[in-house]
Structure formats: structure tokens, C-alpha cells
Amino acid sequence: MRGACRRSRPVAGVTLIELVVTLALSTIVLVAAWSWCWRVCAVQRHERARAEALSTLAFARRTIDREMRGAWGLSTDGVVPCDSASFALTLPVGSTTRTIGYAYDRRRGVLWRGAAASYVAEGVTAFAVEYLDGEGRPVLPPAGGVLDARSAGRVVALHVRCSVDCAGVSVTDDWCVALRSRLP
């Protein structure tokens, strides 16, 4: 009776314990991958906001620098006051001049140029202007806080400080720019 003692062949397959261990390891790998992707996306969103804020600030700086370097001086004609948050420049246009003003609207967070319909930067959280004389000393406005023609005539450079916020990321820059020359 040789046939009665037959050995059973092992059944090919996965045991329950092997399945549970595989599922646990797969879950750990999946959670780690999801966490990594989440962090990468968060960093990318932050860097995009930072790049946009830096770009806005750089554009505002280039625009202001370009016009200040070409200006004959500050304008005190009253279109835009020369105070701590705004200034006006006299620019040559052919044989005449024109006045270009920059003003910071704190309520809207916008730096305006020339008119209310033309803005240089949005998301501006702070903007300050300091007027400097030939020795780099501040030219302080009279009691009203606005430069008069006499004080404006002493100004040879401006120190500008601007902060821009984009999606919770804030960047700040401050720089000095000399006016091109005096009025002819």
C-alpha cells in the first residue's frame, strides 16, 4: 500500500501574514511618498510667491530708478506732494518738461505712477521716501510734512524703501538713487 502514504504538495500562494506585512510596508511607503509630494508642492508654492514678489519689487525699482536718473529734479507744483510716501519728478520731454508723480495708496496696497489708472506695483505693504542733500544728509520737510521749493532744490538723491507681499511672502528692498542734474 504505497499509495496511502502520499505526501501533499505545497500549495503555491501567499499566506495571510505575508499579505499583512506587504500591506503594512506598502502603506508606509505610500504615506512617505505623499508626505514628500505635499512638502515639495508647499515649497514650490512658497517659491512661486517669493519670485512674484521679487519680480514686482524689481520692476518698481527699475521704473523709479530709470525716471529718477533722467529727472531734472523734484517737482513742487502741487500735482503730487513730495512727502514721506510720494514724490514728483520733473522730466525733460523735448524742449519742455512734464511732471511724473509716484504715490503710495496704503489702503489699496498699490504704488501709483502718474495717474490713478497706472500702477507700478501692487501688494505693496510699505513705501517710504527720504530726501537727501549733497552730503547724504536727510532734507526734512517743513512742518506740514511736504517739501517746499526751497527744500526740494537741495535734494540730489532719494532713499526709497519698499516692501511687497505676495501670498503671504514679503520681500523688502531699499536703495538710493541720484537725480540726474539740476534744472537747466
Say yes or no to pLDDT of 184 above 50: no
Cα–Cα distances in angstroms (integers) from residue 14 to residues 10, 11, 18, 21, 22, in the given order: 12, 9, 6, 11, 10
pTM: 0.77
What are the helix (H) ranges across 71-146?
none
The pLDDT tens digits for 10-63 are: 667 788 999 999 999 999 999 999 999 999 999 999 999 999 999 999 999 999
The pLDDT tens digits for 113-163 are: 985 568 899 999 999 999 999 899 999 887 777 888 888 888 999 999 999
**What is the grid cell recorded at 144?**
506740514
